[in-house]
């Protein structure tokens, strides 16, 4: 027991280099190091201990033979433009028109959809989406009233008796838009 006390006294009495300690002052003495550097050292040590190997993301991964020279995320429109250069396919054009419509580029989508109205496989779908694009461009129907109404009526007539869920949805949407356009027309012609 006496041995422990003598060791404690020697430890307290031993001079320390570079450390200033205020024993019983009213305000504690500030350290010369900023707090951020102390926490940064601790964070770095924790990160090094807990670091786990993670898989690389697509952008960090090295190029492969399939990636060719470009490994960047391509804009959907760029993809369709590239496909268009390779081969003009009506379904590719239709998909591109829908992408443009979803991106709210109604004028560009309308141009593509007009070119697809004559395609027998896509007539109804093209008319349906074209009418929506025309109405979205001109909600007051100042310049597209006749064209939008014509397409909506054709879709409603063609899909009236069809039991297919897709066509029945197009029918309902076109019927609602057709009624809307007729209301707008009636307000334009009232004198």
Domain segments of the chain as ranges: 72-188
Structure tokens at 86: 């390779």
The predicted-structure confidence for 75-107, as pLDDT tens digits, reads as follows 777 776 766 565 667 888 888 899 999 999 999
Dist CA 132 CA 102 (whole Å): 11
pLDDT band at 148 (very low <50, low <70, confident <90, very high): confident
* % pLDDT > 90, the chain: 8
Domain 72-188 has CATH 1.25.40.10: yes
What is the value of pTM for the model shown? 0.45
Average pLDDT value for residue range 6-22 = 55
Distance of CA 48 to the CA centre of its chain: 34
Average pLDDT value for residue range 130-152 = 85
């Amino acid at each position: 027991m006496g041995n422990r006390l003598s060791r404690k006294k020697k430890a307290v009495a031993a001079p320390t280099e570079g450390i200033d300690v205020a024993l019983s002052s009213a305000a504690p003495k500030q350290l010369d190091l900023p707090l951020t550097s102390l926490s940064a050292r601790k964070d770095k040590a924790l990160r090094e201990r807990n670091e786990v190997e993670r898989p690389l993301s697509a952008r960090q991964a090295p190029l492969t033979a399939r990636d060719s020279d470009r490994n960047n995320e391509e804009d959907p429109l760029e993809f369709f433009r590239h496909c268009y250069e390779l081969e003009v396919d009506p379904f590719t054009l239709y998909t591109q028109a829908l992408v443009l419509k979803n991106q709210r580029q109604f004028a560009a989508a309308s141009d593509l959809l007009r070119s697809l109205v004559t395609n027998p496989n896509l007539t109804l779908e093209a008319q349906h989406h074209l009418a929506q694009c025309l109405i979205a461009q001109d909600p007051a129907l100042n310049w597209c009233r006749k064209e939008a109404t014509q397409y909506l009526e054709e879709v409603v007539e063609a899909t009236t008796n069809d039991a297919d869920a897709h066509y029945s949805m197009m029918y309902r949407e076109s019927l609602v838009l057709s009624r809307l356009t007729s209301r707008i027309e009636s307000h334009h012609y009232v004198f």
